[in-house]
Amino acid sequence: MKRTFIFLTAFLLLAGGAMAGNPFGTASQGDSQDSVFMECTSGPDYTVTSFRSFNGTINAVPGDDCVKVVKQLMAAGYRLEALSQNSVSGNYFGIFVKDGVNEKEAKDANETQESQYLASKAKITKDQAISIAKTENPNANVINAQLEDENGQVVYGIEFDNGLEVKVDAIDGKVICTEQSDDGEANDE
């Protein structure tokens, strides 16, 4: 019980004690709030069991020390918006927010995280995917090649100057499909 009180007190003190308002509300025009949801065990170790960041760059995984994660959030300018304890599991739930996050910066951070995730899942390189796609379009030049999430499947989208896009499975290198590119730059000749 004493350790629970110490953890809860540290959680509140580190977070500055601010616990009012809507954690997913709006900020000033052009900016948005960055929100973080974190669940921690009730003890004795107080470890992260669930962590979700919306627009943010701070990350935590199950097993991380909750106090250290709270310190990281506070150092990055987050504040505690809400805190509760599950009456069944005893786990603590915290919502942290950071006001004034520039939408472009948040979007760039999300795109970087998604790119890193997709790259970690890919088993073939971009160059290998391009070589495979060129067998479908031998006389065309590549204008863009990037990893994409296609309905839960990690693929390389290879766009050609003839308006075609070849989707190559980033795991096994098989051509999934060849389709007209979304940008409408197909040859109409």
pLDDT at 133: 94
For residue range 29-58, list pLDDT tens digits in order: 334 567 888 888 877 778 888 888 776 667
pTM score: 0.44
Rounded Cα distance between 102 and 110, Å, is 12
Positions in the chain short of pLDDT 50: 1-7, 9-10, 12-31, 184-189
Between helix 2-14 and helix 66-75 the angle, nearest 10°, is 10
Domain layout of the chain by residue ranges: 2-114, 122-180
User: Given 3.10.450.40, 3.40.47.10, 3.40.50.450, 3.40.50.80, which CATH number is that of 122-180?
Assistant: 3.10.450.40
